[in-house]
Amino acid sequence: MKILYDDNMPYAAEYFTSLGETKAFTAGRLSEQDLAKCEALLVRSTTTVDAQLLQRAPNLRYVATATSGFNHLSLSDIEAANIKWYAAGGCNARAVAEYILASMFMLAERQGFMLQDKTVGIVGLGNVGQALEALLQALDIHMVKYDPPRAELDASFVSASFEEVISADIISLHVPLTRSGNYPTEHMFNAEVLEKLTAQQILINACRGEVLDNQALLIGMRANREKMPTVGLDCWENEPTIERELIPYLAFATAHIAGHSLEGKARGTDMVYRDLCRFLSIEAEHQLSDFLPRYEAVAIDAENSNNAKINLSHQTIVSQSIKSMYDIENDDSFFRRYMANSRSFSEIRRSYPVRREWPAAKITISNKCAAQTLKKLGFRLANDSK
């Protein structure tokens, strides 16, 4: 089988070489010659697979995206051509959930509140929403969960009302982009909804940019900034041509990188590999642990330079531990500086440095209560026999 894969798929060469004749391509640079011979096309969200592309790939039998979202795949065109397709749903769910929790702890430190005193509203309980739910449960944080489509399919799930979820202290968006049906999500948070929110609330969008009306948000911020909620954006409307004038009004801003952990991207490769093996009726030989590099242990000691114990709060120790793995303020600061003089939103995503997920680290910490909380969040404890 002749396989073309995006060169931004980690470990793709190691995974796919045993399945056929492989060749990497850079998004936006698919050659006519390569497409003409291609039988399996493995992409990320930067490559649109539609009727126009399919006409140039007459031998194509299999298409997969190593990403959770698949808006860039024209399923009607792919299915009409009798081509098998696959999307790596949930591959970066853990990474996005960690990003959201990191942003919450950062805002708690900045605004001086205790996270356990807040109610978090999760809008959308798919892969990412459920991953966030699990992390919040580990912290014993009260949640309001909104997902009517899931409630219609799952009798065990009861969805809160929309009014209930937008009354939460912190609202985190995790829905797909839909424009039709009973529950369209495009501009779910429009001017009318934004007007119902208060300055005491926090709104975070790390799903799809079009779920939050960016122009309505900008107008609201310009008119009554002091009455608007604290807002953080990782996803934007019209990416990569985003509304840059919004940036100064945001508590944090990043370039759609919430899911860009090494594990999240590599897990996408792994999931595509396993599905392609099933398609070819071949037993999978590789697994993710074969390729992921080791991560150095992290020490969080509540001591100062004179080895005197410091009375840090439980929340502070957990927050510092999370920051030792991922400091969202670094991404926010870089994004603001870069976007002040550039329109290349896509370049930030392409050059994003390696970020590891919390379970990659073994952490050494003296505070037993905080250590157990971190263990529940997925951190591995040094010298832990369990």
At a CB cut-off of 8 Å and minimum separation 6, what does 331 contact?
A: 252, 254, 255, 257
pLDDT > 60? residue 304: no
Fold match between domain 2-87+261-290 and domain 93-253:
yes
Among candidate residues 44, 94, 187, 208, the one labeled active-site is 208
Query: In which band, very low, low, confident or very high, does the pLDDT at 298 lie, cut at 50, 70 and 90?
Result: confident
Q: Give per-residue pLDDT as tens, 128-179.
A: 999 999 999 999 999 999 999 999 999 999 999 999 999 999 999 999 999 9
Secondary structure letter of residue 360 according to DSSP: G
> Of all helices (H) and strands (E), which one includes residue 337?
helix 328-340
Rounded Cα distance between 155 and 190, Å, is 30
At a CB cut-off of 8 Å and minimum separation 6, what does 250 contact?
A: 231, 232, 233
Distances (CA, A) of 283 to 132, 151, 169, 209, 272: 33, 37, 48, 39, 14
**CATH number corresponding to 298-381:** 3.30.1370.170
Among candidate residues 39, 239, 243, 329, the one labeled active-site is 239
DSSP per residue over 83-98, as a string? -EEEE-TTTTHHHHHH
Stretch 204-221: mean pLDDT, rounded? 97
Rounded Cα distance between 165 and 88, Å, is 28
pLDDT > 60? residue 222: yes
Q: Where are the beta strands (DSSP E) in 235-333?
A: 252-253, 298-300
Rounded Cα distance between 80 and 85, Å, is 12
At a CB cut-off of 8 Å and minimum separation 6, what does 382 contact?
A: 297, 362, 363, 364
**C-alpha dihedral, 150 to 152 to 155 to 156, nearest 10°:** 30
**C-alpha dihedral, 59 to 62 to 63 to 66, nearest 10°:** -140
Which pair of structure tokens corresponds to residue 228? 């608007």
Rounded Cα distance between 256 and 283, Å, is 35
> Of all helices (H) and strands (E), which one includes residue 45?
none
Q: Give per-residue pLDDT as tens, 340-378.
A: 877 789 889 888 988 999 999 888 888 889 899 999 999
Length of the chain equals 386
The pLDDT score that the predictor gives to residue 386 is 57
The pTM for the full model equals 0.91
**CATH number corresponding to 93-253:** 3.40.50.720
With pLDDT > 70 as the criterion, what percentage of the chain qualifies? 96
Secondary structure letter of residue 73 according to DSSP: B
Domain-by-domain residue ranges, the chain? 2-87+261-290, 93-253, 298-381
Which CATH number among 3.10.20.600, 3.40.50.720, 3.40.50.300, 3.40.1180.10 corresponds to the domain 2-87+261-290? 3.40.50.720
Among candidate residues 44, 94, 150, 256, the one labeled active-site is 256
CB atoms within 10 A of CB 99: 28
187 catalytic, yes or no?
Answer: no
Distances (CA, A) of 138 to 95, 142, 294: 16, 11, 26
286 catalytic, yes or no?
Answer: no
Rounded Cα distance between 138 and 376, Å, is 6
